[in-house]
Amino acid sequence: MSDLLARHKAVIPNWVALYYNEPIEIVSGKGNRVVDASGKSYLDFFAGILTNMIGYDVPEVREAVERQLATGVVHTSTVYLLRGQIELAEKIARLSGIPDAKVFFTNSGTEANETALLLATYARKSDQVLAMRQSYHGRSFGAIGVTSNRAWKNNSYSPVNATFLHGADRHLPQFAGLSDADYIKVCVEDLRHVLATGVSNDVAALIAEPIQGVGGFTMAPDGLFAAYKEVLDEEGILFISDEVQTGWGRTGSAFFGIQNHGVTPDMMTFAKGLGNGFAVGGIVARGDLLDNLHAVGLATFGGNPISMAAANATLDYVLDHDLQANAARTGALIIDGLREAAKRLPIVTSVRGKGLMFAVELASSELAGRFMEESKKLGLLAGKGGLYGTAIRMAPPLTLTMDEAAEGLGIIVNALETINDEVR
């Protein structure tokens, strides 16, 4: 493994981060577990950054891809009819709840968010965009412009003029002790003040993650975005929900994260879990917005036959097995267990989450790093993030069983107890 790590460092940019003091190579997977090159097995609570949404070696997905490969057609491009793309778009349009929706497929969430920004700024004839503090929307030029996390911004140049709002930052002293209703009221008044003072004339859109991914699974209280949209609608400002991490039932309480707020956005972007490891992203939006662009456009690889076969099979599996309900059940077991354990663990400052998307906030980034090593040793894969690198974020496959949820909870608590004892 040291030889492979040396080869990695020689040819891969040093900003492509690796987890663990001794990084692992994952060589096989089955169900919700993976095995590394040394033969060690792990219960996967990070799913390739929320991408292996229904686990590993799923027959329905594998067979769908194999059937497409057997035709000999891996790629044709969008200048020809693509049956799988049309079928998937029909499903997503129906599930979105967006009136007269149309769908455009890309290769990633970053590309999907770039498309959404293009649509909004073109429709509104404005480069002004609202986004949320602590947000992350991708690594490309425009996506960085609406990202509000210094650790993920390479420069200040941007094709959009972004202003950042409150809404996922209740940990700040000025909001301490506020109820959900009072916090929402304060945030809405701040939005009105921003529109009166911080922008000029028309604003194109607000783009927001219902639960912030890189932000450490921080989230606005349910109802905030409905309150925001009332204000946005007064000025015709569009609303883009970034569902790259929150889509497809992961929150348990809704199929798309924004539905927890009781509001329908003008556009939703998606990616990650839809292909269960195959590269797929896209945007579902009001048809008039997607039809509005005057220039010819396409995505060379977006919506290709292989990714569409995988995505159709994955989405069908999620719906046929009601994995949203499973996320609610298994997520409640874990989150409730973590909150109970946190009462006796001073190193834990908070536990948050919805469904199978939850995080443990630790007192320092050093403790978070220590947790990563300890949980690895105990056979569980987790993620690390948050504005200050203090959050352990976890999002197991939606196929997680109750027994696996209990097993994972036990490992997490065991690791936290070990670390807590070390620092007492």
The CATH number of residue 11's host domain is 3.90.1150.10
Q: Is 392 contained in some domain? A: yes
- Whether 255 and 316 map to the same domain: the answer is yes
Please give the Cα distance from 78 to 364 (Å, whole number). 48
Cα separation, 86 vs 81, in Å, equals 8
Strand pairing class (267-270; 238-242) = parallel
Question: Whose structure tokens read 């089955």?
Answer: 30
Per the structure, the count of domains in the chain is 2
Q: What is the 3-state secondary structure (H, E, C) of 295-318?
A: CCCCCCCCCCHHHHHHHHHHHHHH
Domain that holds residue 35: 2-58+322-423
- Main-chain dihedrals φ then ψ at residue 358, nearest 5 degrees: -140, 160
Final residue of a structural domain among 284, 302, 320 = 320
Please, which residues bridge with residue 302 across strands?
none
Q: Domain check: are 25 and 92 in the same one?
A: no
Is residue 108, in this structure, part of any structural domain at all?
yes
- Residue-level pLDDT at 149: 94
316 lies in the same domain as 358:
no
Same domain, 83 and 112: yes
Residues 270 and 329 in one domain: no
Q: Looking at the structure, do residues 86 and 206 belong to the same domain, yes or no?
A: yes
Regarding pTM above 0.85, the answer is: yes
Asked if 47 and 395 count as a contact pair (C-beta separation under 8 A), the reply is yes
Do 162 and 269 belong together in one domain?
yes
Instruction: Indicate which CATH number applies to the domain containing 150.
Output: 3.40.640.10
Residues 328 and 206 in one domain: no
Q: Are residues 32 and 52 both part of a single domain?
A: yes
Q: Is residue 416 part of a domain?
A: yes
Structural domain contains residue 344: yes
- Last residue of one domain, picked from the residues 320, 346, 367: 320
126 with 264, same domain: the answer is: yes
Q: Say if residues 274 and 314 touch (Cβ distance below 8 Å).
A: yes
Is 64 part of a structural domain of the chain? no
pLDDT in tens, the chain (424 residues): 689 999 999 999 999 989 999 999 999 999 999 999 999 999 999 999 999 999 999 999 999 999 999 999 999 999 999 999 999 999 999 999 999 999 999 999 999 999 999 999 999 999 999 999 999 999 999 999 999 999 999 888 899 999 999 999 999 999 988 999 999 999 999 999 999 999 998 999 999 999 999 999 999 999 999 999 999 999 999 999 999 999 999 999 999 999 999 999 999 999 999 999 999 999 999 999 999 999 999 999 999 999 999 999 999 999 999 999 999 999 999 999 999 999 999 999 999 999 999 999 999 999 999 999 999 999 999 999 999 999 999 999 999 999 999 999 999 999 999 999 999 7
Which residue, 338, 340, 279, 326, is CA-closest to 307? 279
Domain co-membership, 293 together with 364:
no
Shared-domain flag, residues 305 and 340? no
Residue type, 211: I
Is residue 348 one of the residues assigned to a domain? yes
Domain end residue (candidates: 285, 320, 355): 320
Residue 128 inside a domain? The answer is yes
